[in-house]
Amino acid sequence: MIIKNFTEEHLPATAKLCRLNMQLDIMPDFLLREKTFGEPDYDSELTLLTFDENQPENPIGFIQGVIKQRPEEKIGFIKLLCVDSNFRRKGIASRLYEQAESKIKEAGVKKIRVYESYPNYFMPGVDPFYTEAVCFFERKGFKKFADTSNLSANLLELKYDTSKEEKSLEKEGIICRRASAEDKETILKWVEKNFTAWVHEVSESFKNNPVTLFICEVNGELKAFSAHEANNKGTGWFGPMGTDPSLRGKGIGGILLLKCLEDLKNMGYVKAIIPWVGPIPFYMHYANSKVERVFWRYEKILE
């Protein structure tokens, strides 16, 4: 068994490994590129491949770890993990994991979580239908501490006309509109102050043309936002969104949500993924969104 660092030349074969062996997910090459080289905290020492001596071209195991500075502490994440189904229960994932864990420990990190490496994350936890992964992480000493879910919205069945609601808000000086490139600096400053964890995703939305971000202003002052195509681009991914507490309950979030979903529909998606939720009744109310996947969140405290 040979372990190598992941590099550009391995990207197509590694994406193929993920496609073939993570049956609940899709992993086009461009998405693996976003998850790896597009990761702001990308660490080549924590991104590893296993090769079998008899087939040096194709990787049979892949792990991606990252370390992120959170407000209170640094946390390590196992962001992706996959082993060829023909080579399982041979200790391949264990070898990859142990190498990543020891490097995470060397960096002085005291805690590791699985997936959920926001802002650039693939999934918000372990999908228990990957039951081998549940067994694997529990065996490695991880404890489940919460669960969460991804919802999905059928974009073909929604009614998007919010003109009546918008007109009535306009009387109070409240305007909902698409953000433009010129707004970028002001918006990022405001998000940094009010919704710090979402700055990166909001800034990603400005890379799309048109910008995949809608905002609400009261007398010209920013009060709410919602974005899409800001993470897992190319999959119909909604979010993040946030409304200033003083303006909650006025229907602004609903308008901004529907503007994003309509945008996704116009891009040709039939389904939107509303990840890592959060207020399920809100999304059910405005977009008839249903739970599509459940994720178990795992954590290991390093000794």
Ligand X SMILES: CC(C)(COP(=O)(O)OP(=O)(O)OC[C@H]1O[C@@H](n2cnc3c(N)ncnc32)[C@H](O)[C@@H]1OP(=O)(O)O)[C@@H](O)C(=O)NCCC(=O)NCCS
Contact 51, 17 (CB under 8 A): no
* Among positions 16, 88, 200, 290, the unique one binding ligand X when judged by CB under 6 A: 88
Residues ≥6 apart with Cβ < 8 Å to 277: 148, 149, 150, 151, 283
Task: Name the minimum Å distance from CB 293 to ligand X.
Answer: 11
Q: Does 22 engage in binding with ligand X (CB under 6 A)?
A: yes
Q: Which is nearer to ligand X, 139 or 248 (CB)?
A: 139
Q: Which of 80, 70, 151 is nearest to 114 (CA)?
A: 80
Task: Name the minimum Å distance from CB 71 to ligand X.
Answer: 26
- Can you tell me the distance from the alpha carbon of 269 to that of 293, in angstroms, rounded to the nearest whole number? 19
Q: Which is nearer to ligand X, 22 or 260 (CB)?
A: 22
Q: Does 135 engage in binding with ligand X (CB under 6 A)?
A: yes
How many CA atoms, within 13 angstroms, populate the side-chain half-sphere of residue 271? 10
DSSP 8-state assignment for residue 53: T
Task: Name the minimum Å distance from CB 79 to ligand X.
Answer: 10
Q: Which is nearer to ligand X, 136 or 286 (CB)?
A: 136
Q: Does 15 engage in binding with ligand X (CB under 6 A)?
A: no
DSSP 8-state assignment for residue 95: H
Task: Name the minimum Å distance from CB 88 to ligand X.
Answer: 3
Task: Name the minimum Å distance from CB 110 to ligand X.
Answer: 22
Alpha helices in 117-181 (DSSP H): 131-139, 163-170
Helix (H, G, I), strand (E, B) or coil at 146: strand
CA dihedral 278, 279, 285, 287 (to 10 degrees): -20
Q: Does 83 engage in binding with ligand X (CB under 6 A)?
A: yes
Task: Name the minimum Å distance from CB 91 to ligand X.
Answer: 5
- Can you tell me the distance from the alpha carbon of 294 to that of 187, in angstroms, rounded to the nearest whole number? 32
Q: Does 16 engage in binding with ligand X (CB under 6 A)?
A: no
Q: Which of residues 113-132 bind ligand X (CB under 6 A)?
A: 126-127, 130, 132
Give the pair of three-digit tokens for residue 252: 């602004």
Task: Name the minimum Å distance from CB 119 to ligand X.
Answer: 19
Q: Does 92 engage in binding with ligand X (CB under 6 A)?
A: yes
Stretch that binds ligand X, among 135-143, 151-159, 240-248, 283-291 (CB under 6 A): 135-143
Contact 79, 100 (CB under 8 A): no
Contacting residues toward ligand X, per CB under 6 A: 21-22, 81-83, 88-94, 126-127, 130, 132-133, 135-136, 139
